[in-house]
Amino acid sequence: MNDANDIRPLNLEGGAPDLTGLTAIENGGVTSAKGFKAAGVHAGFRKNPERFDLALLVADEPAACAATFTQNVFCAAPVTVSREHLDGVSYGTARAFVVNSGTANAATGSVGIESAKRTAEIVGEVVGCPASEVMVASTGVIGVQLNMATFETGVPMAYDALSEDGGAAAARAIMTTDTHPKECAFSFSGDEIGYPGATFTIGGMAKGSGMIMPNMATMISGITTDAPVTPDVLHAALKQAVANSFNKVTVDSDTSTNDCCFLFASGAAAPGAEPFQPGSPALAAFQHALDAVCGTLARAMAADGEGATRLITVRVAGAANDAQADIAARTIANSPLVKTAIFGHDANWGRIAGAVGRSGADFNQEDVSIDIMGLPVMRAGLPVPFSEEEALRRFERPEIDIDVDLGAGTARTVMWTCDFSYEYVTINGDYRT
């Protein structure tokens, strides 16, 4: 039970990734970790010759690989084929990762499956590895078949362009309506975790949150590390990191048909060393850095949501359990009424209360506290007077925090979304008229 007279800010924790002990690498990305080269080129999937549309990532040696895939029943052909290449268990060994933008290869039937398989073969031939060691991903228009001739000419071009500085080009090549590329990399020392002298790096790229015509299939992320991690352990770490990052992002509640996240581990930072063991300090440090990479990319994705003017961080505490914390935060983050209010710089706590009230989470309304941008606006289920002037000042911040304490338990979560603007309607409704 919250006290109506206690109107100190909730100050819920969480939001920005915890970077303790990590070193951010300037302009870091998917080639920051040792053992990987990448390229981004214009192959011809898009008409604009200035626009990169094919990304290739190649590991010097076969790397451990883990992935997470969209849950959408209408999953795209490359998702099906990549999952098969990982023996259906979403982890294994891989040499290469190829992504085209412009065409999603979703809703393309058996022809689409053959195209995705052939793409892997083309890459395998050029790189010199089995097709089963190639991960494929596509993003772009749904319901259109891939132009395979573009792969036949584009993959060798990308292979020739591979470099240890190619991460930035690769990150540009996977963009659709993203307004800027999304990359980051962090390193951590092996000294205190049983790998003296070694420095491990995790870096990644992501694209997301854009749809243009008729339906851009959205989130794709590729992450590399030079830490020694076996595929099964890598998969467990990735699942945990994705659950707390990409899966906590919602731009418009629409899950794409093509969502996928791939993590490749070369082990090149400590050749011949024992892989990180479950329960070890090394794996804990790795998880911490992986969480930072995924969290950074996920927040960048939410902030660059279609038409977004503000990143919104929704923190829910005091839920009865994790599932209820999630559904409460998700309902707030998906509410068009909340998102348009933020766009209009309106500290509209009534809509936030309405959203958690209908979310399905169990609580009593007289136990609820809400803060917006650190301003207490509801205590014990009743409105708290606040300065509208101060609220308008805080709305100038690029990041808007919504904190809710349900007063029903100890579970908590964080989600990221963006506001809902005219530009969203323009991007998604207006382009044909």
Catalytically annotated residues: 218
User: What is the closest distance, in whole angstroms, from the C-beta atom of residue 258 to a copy of itself in the complex?
Assistant: 10
User: What is the closest distance, in whole angstroms, from the C-beta atom of residue 346 to a copy of itself in the complex?
Assistant: 5
Q: In this structure, is the dihedral angle defined by the CA atoms of residues 338, 341, 342 and 348, taken in order, positive or negative?
A: negative
56 neighbors 170 (Cβ within 8 angstroms): yes
Beta strand pairing call for 311-319 and 182-189: unpaired
Interface residues with a copy of itself (CB under 8 A) are 71-75, 106-109, 141-143, 211, 213-215, 217, 252-257, 334-337, 340-346, 348-351, 353-358, 361-366, 368, 378, 380-383, 419-422, 424-425, 428-433
Residue 382, both tokens: 């009743």
User: What is the closest distance, in whole angstroms, from the C-beta atom of residue 127 to a copy of itself in the complex?
Assistant: 31
User: What is the closest distance, in whole angstroms, from the C-beta atom of residue 285 to a copy of itself in the complex?
Assistant: 35
User: Which amino acid does the sequence have at 190?
Assistant: G
Cα gap 305→341, rounded to integer Å? 16
Cα gap 372→401, rounded to integer Å? 6
User: What is the closest distance, in whole angstroms, from the C-beta atom of residue 338 to a copy of itself in the complex?
Assistant: 9
User: What is the closest distance, in whole angstroms, from the C-beta atom of residue 208 to a copy of itself in the complex?
Assistant: 14
Nearer to a copy of itself, 109 or 278 (CB): 109
Cα gap 342→209, rounded to integer Å? 18
User: What is the closest distance, in whole angstroms, from the C-beta atom of residue 27 to a copy of itself in the complex?
Assistant: 33
Helix and strand numbers, DSSP H then E, in the chain: 11, 15
Tell me the β-bridge partners of 96.
58, 134
Tell me how far CA of residue 170 lies from CA of 2, 130, 398, 405, in angstroms.
50, 22, 27, 41
Residue 322 — φ and ψ, nearest 5°? -60, -40
User: Which amino acid does the sequence have at 153?
Assistant: T
Q: Please report how many Cα atoms fall inside a 13 Å half-sphere around the Cα of residue 83, on the Cβ side.
A: 16
Cα gap 420→433, rounded to integer Å? 21
Angle at alpha carbon of residue 236, lines to 83 and 118, rounded to 5°: 15
Three-class secondary structure assignment of 276-325: CCCCCHHHHHHHHHHHHHHHHHHHHHHHCCCCCCCEEEEEEEEECCHHHH
204 neighbors 221 (Cβ within 8 angstroms): yes
Strand locations in 10-145 (E): 23-24, 36-41, 54-69, 91-103, 134-141
User: What is the closest distance, in whole angstroms, from the C-beta atom of residue 367 to a copy of itself in the complex?
Assistant: 10
